[in-house]
Amino acid sequence: MAEKVTKLALASRIIVLILQLLANKLLPDHQTDVFRAPFNPANKVTWLDKTINFCLNGFRHWDAEYFLHIAEHGYTYENTLAFYPLYPMVVKSGAHLLHTMLADFMNMRSCCLLVGVVLNVALFCKAANILYALTQRIFNDLNKSWNVALLFCFNPASIFFTAAYSETLFCLLSLYVMLECSTQIRAVRSTFALALNIAARSNGLVNMGFPFYFIVRKFILKRSSLLSSLLKMALCLLFSLIPLTFFNFYAFQLFCVSDKATNHTEAILNYGRQKNYVLSGYRYAEQSPWCDERFPFPYSYIQSHYWKVGFLRYYELKQIPNFMLALPILIFLFWHCVKYLRDFQKNLLPKYPLLHLLKEYKTLPFILHALALTVFCIFFVHIQISTRLLCSATPCVYWFASDHMPKSLDKLQLRSKAGLIFLWFASYVLVGTTMFSNNLPWT
C-alpha cells in the first residue's frame, strides 16, 4: 500500500507542477509591492538557470521569496525572523551540495529553488504515507485510510505543499509526532520529532499537547508510574524547546548586538535601504524594541509590527474577500469538531467510564487540537492562511471529509456532501495554483 500511496502523492505533485507551469506562462504575473529576494547582478545566469526559472518560477512567490532568500543569504532583514529556520536550513544544505557539483552550470539562487521544490515533493510523498499509517492506526479501516490519503493528495492548500514553503516539512513532522504518540510513545523519537516540528513553524508548539496527553493517558491506564510520567513530560518539554531557544539566541546576536560583523552583498544592502528594512548587524536607536525585553523573543513583535497580526486586527471591510476564501475550511472544521464533542459529551460520557473512553477513543486529542487551531485562525491570524495552516497541521480535515466519501469514487455524486467536498478541494487546487503562480493574492 505504501507504494500505491507514494504513486498517488507523486502524481498529484506532477499535476500541480504542470498547472503551475501553464498558469505561469499563459497569464502575466500580478505586480505587487511585496518582498522580492534581491538578485545579485554579479551572479552569472546560464541556460540551466533559465530552464529552472522557466519551469519552477511560479513556486517562488509570496512567502517562498522569504524562505529562499533565507536559504541563500541567511536572516539579513529583521522581518525574515518571522520564518522559522528548519526548512530554509535544509534547503540551504541541499543547495550548497548541488552548487558544489554544478557551480559552472547553476547559480545559488537556482539551486535553492530547485532543491526547495524537489524537497517538498519528496516530503509530501512521505507525509501521505505517514497520514495513511496514522489513520489506519486510529480507525483500523483500510478504505477510510485510502480515502484520507487521496483527499490529502488533492487538498485545498495543494500549491503550498509544492511551492518553497515550510508547510510540507511541518506537516510531515506533525503527523510523525502524532503517529509516535498514538502508537507507543517512544520518548526519544517523539521528543526529537517535536523539537524539529517546533523549529519548522511556530504552531509546532501546540503539538506539545500530544505527547503530554498520551503520557498522562498511559499513566491513568496504569501502564506507567507517576515518576516516570512526570520525568518524560519534563524531558520532552526541555529538549523540544532547545532548537527554538538557539534560534532566538541567534536572532538576538544578529539584530541586538551593535556592529555585529556581517557580510551583506551590495544588492542586499541596497534593497534593504530601498525598503527601509532593519538590517542584521546594524542596530540603531529605537530599532528592534524586542531586544530590550527581559526575554527577547522576536516572533511576536515581528508578526505584530510587520504583519499586524493580533486579536481581531484583521477584521476590516477590505479583507472580506480573504474571509470568503477561508470560510469553507473554518466552517467545515469548526462544525465537525463541535458536533464530535457534543456527541462525545451526550452519548459517551454518561454511558462509559473514563478509563474505557481513554483506552478506546484516541481521536479526542486530535479533535481538541483541530478546534483550538480553528478558533486561533478565526481570531488571531491573517485569515487567508487558515486553509494552508489547517491542512498542514491537523489530519482532522481529511478524517472528517472522508466520513462523507463513498467507498468507491464511481459512486460519487456531485449533488451530495461528498460532491461538495470534491468540488471544494478540486476548485481550490485549480484556482489556488493558478493565482499563486501568477503572484495573485492566494497566500
Q: What is the pLDDT of residues 21-47, one digit of tens each?
A: 999 989 888 888 888 989 888 788 999
Please give the backbone phi and psi of residue 247, each rounded to the nearest 5 degrees, phi first.
-65, -40
Walking along the chain (443 residues) 10 residues at a time, the average pLDDT comes out as 92 97 90 86 88 95 96 95 97 96 92 98 98 96 94 97 98 96 82 95 93 85 78 88 95 83 84 90 79 89 89 88 94 97 86 78 93 96 95 98 84 82 95 94 82
Cα–Cα distance between 26 and 14 in angstroms, integer? 18
Q: Which burial class, exposed, middle or buried, applies to 16 when counting CB atoms under 10 A from its CB (0-12, 13-18, 19+)? A: buried
Torsion of CA 360, 366, 368, 372, to 10 degrees: 180
Question: What would the pLDDT profile of 65-94 be if each residue is shown by its tens digit?
Answer: 999 999 999 999 999 999 999 999 999 999
Each domain of the chain, given as residue ranges in start order, spans 1-250+312-438
Model pTM score: 0.94
Cα–Cα distance between 278 and 309 in angstroms, integer? 19
CB neighbour list of residue 216: distance below 8 Å, 6 or more residues apart: 229
E strands, 310-438, are none
Of 103, 176, 98, 99, the closest CA to residue 137 belongs to 176
Are 132 and 1 in contact by the 8 Å Cβ rule? The answer is yes
Helix 364-379 with 386-393: angle, nearest 10 deg: 160
